[in-house]
A and B are shown apart, each in its own frame.
Chain A
């Protein structure tokens, strides 16, 4: 055994050591520490800055290493498959993260708000504390928390920017698929064009979303603090918007790699991983559009 090769490289690839994970851990710790210090008012907002910079440095370095190894042809199909599975399970964990917030939305709409309005088993809460409360969605609760000075607020109608954003994201799902087909057919020009379209659509989506948030805060009285509607609305769309931003940045990176001549018609895991992520973000949006904006 002792004289056998360290590993059969036709089967596996084992990197020998890497400084990036520990740098990532330090970056995460710095982010958390900054947030703790800031939230406890022990120092100003600047303490939050170093962490994300370190994290960006880690991502840049770690991915540069992986891309470099990949360009040297070190990864075989076996490693490729490990990456694929890893990405799929990561997306599954993201689905469950959104599941928690969708769960909160459904719980509020189906159970807690009707109960507060005097329906079902919790009738006494309404009877004793808030006999006037009707419990109709959308609501900022019986205490009329947040919103305008009189406790009222308006919501963003589904037909308008949200419908436009739906069209934008669905289109970007199509363009990324066209780009994928072009990659497999070896049509690099078409690939670069449609990939660029995809992340431009993504950033456009984020721009519209930011505009919508501005309007909600300034004019509609709809804020993060506007009761359970504002809480679920901003947490769901906010985390989704964050994911769109990250996904669009990932697409941008892939596009830059395409321009550098990376990826072959048969081997392009990173492209596919980002495309999966993009479709995941797309599907989450459909859930948001239906359950947050529309119904």
Chain B
């Protein structure tokens, strides 16, 4: 070890970039690890998307066309698990890795070796999860929410499901600890908390939520494991337990989890809209407090996912009202984004297009969420395609569009090249049109009574299902443009200076494009920080 140290010290005075496979497998560099996270997330996005295409293929017409119902249920279960834990969460962590050290004026993440660990757990976790398709009994098919007793009947893939969740949880917790510590301890002198970009703020709060709820999920799946193999009766009424208890514990994790999935998108949109409106963000502090309020409320709304299981009336009322309360801080955000654009000098480059689509379409998902929050109405909507439409509006044109907006916003910074704006604009319009063709009809299907998680349906649902499937195929195919545009941009393009966008503010735009291997090798000066903080 001593030789290593001497070696490291001798090379301290220039960019020390290891070569070959060790650069990636042994990496302690926030950009390299961020890149691996993003590539991993993109891969999972296409695997999860592939499952979605197969689902839409089966639902294209009524009747069983291609798959037996068990495999169809595996597809819906695995689609959700892969998208949530494999695509969205690692995608956000990848962006956090790339951007947070640059945005707070740090050379790297606070705990670089831990950073490597939290990434490299993921490929193993998903090897376990995805290989469960090939064991006797097939992949888990009881839904991503893993409710007992159904999920306890899973075959050989049951422990694969449980242990992959444990690994994903460990990865998320370690990653989140790293983000919190980086933000709290690695900010350059002068980068006060209320000068931080919104992306950093939203990630700080996301990381707090992750550390708070991922262990709860680990506890829940551990109880499932012992109920299955070691005779405990947490979720068996005969032993004094209760299957509904799993739902309570799961959704205590699950509701903060949905904010984990979307809060970083709020942050990105809060950076992009001011840049392309050429105005500071309207109500910066209100935005910070709104995100904190949403995070707080996320801990006291969980049972709105389970209004129909038969809860005491007082509990239903409490969870209905607390859920509606979330509309207040969310409304603050939507109005502030809108007010930021008011009388701004707007331009519509791809990041802005995705951010605007986010603003409109996420709001639609928010409104259907309010409808679902109303207990008596939820009795009708529960487990229908209306719910599917609701959360896909929040997660696809919400979270995914937010993430794509972020990638299109920062890609020139990462590569030093401007990407093909025309092609990216095509990607946007195809995505924005098809995503609505895909998900909007599902509102009608749900209100008409089509249940979710079924491979076959009554003929009166045929037309809108076909429309939805066509939208799905269109959306899926359009996404192929995304990696192509990125690949092309990495290969070359018009060189850009420090600032890719004229209206952009923030410390990341004070660094060269692409930035040096260690971002801020010495802390930026007070003047540079003040220039970056536009609000």
Contacts and interface: CB of A to CB of B under 8 A. Distances in A.
B108 A12 contact: yes
B522 A4 contact: yes
A85 B181 CA distance: 6
A75 to B, nearest CB: 12
Contacts of B160: 36
A104 B124 contact: no
A228 B113 contact: no
A7 B12 contact: yes
A97 B239 contact: no
A232 B242 CA distance: 13
Interface centre among A16, A115, A125, by most chain B C-beta atoms within 10 angstroms, is A16
Interface stretch (B115-123, B431-439, B478-486): B115-123
Contact of A142 (B170, B173, B238): B238
A97 B215 contact: yes
Interface stretch (B80-88, B229-237, B413-421, B422-430): B229-237
A24 B516 contact: no
B5 interface: yes
A116 B240 contact: yes
Contacts of A85: 110, 180-181, 184-185
A101 B219 contact: yes
Nearest to A78: B185
Given A36-B160, A82-B111, A235-B226, A89 B181 contact: yes
A167 interface: no
Contacts of A4: 516, 521-522
Interface residues of B, number: 92
Interface stretch (A63-71, A200-208, A209-217, A259-267): A63-71
Contact of B167 (A1, A32, A96, A98): A32
Contacts, number: 275
A92 B232 contact: no
B229 A108 contact: no
A1 B517 CA distance: 11
Interface SS, A side: helix
A217 to B, nearest CB: 12
Nearest to A142: B238
Contact of A25 (B1, B120, B186, B220): B120
Interface stretch (B25-33, B48-56, B398-406, B457-465): B25-33
B241 interface: yes
B449 interface: no
Interface of B: 1-2, 5, 8, 11-16, 18, 22-23, 25-28, 106-108, 110-114, 116-117, 120-121, 123-124, 127-128, 135, 156, 159-160, 163-164, 166-167, 170, 173, 176-178, 180-181, 184-186, 211-216, 218-220, 222-223, 226, 229-234, 236-242, 244-245, 248-249, 252, 310-312, 511-512, 516-518, 521-523
Interface of A: 1-2, 4-9, 11-12, 14-22, 24-26, 28-29, 32-33, 35-36, 39-40, 62, 64-65, 68-69, 72, 74, 78, 81-83, 85-86, 89-90, 92-94, 96-101, 103-104, 107-108, 111-113, 115-116, 120-122, 125, 129, 139-143, 145-146, 223-225, 227-232, 234-235
Given A6-B13, A12-B108, A104-B219, 7 more contacts: A32-B128, A35-B163, A92-B212, A100-B215, A103-B216, A104-B249, A112-B244
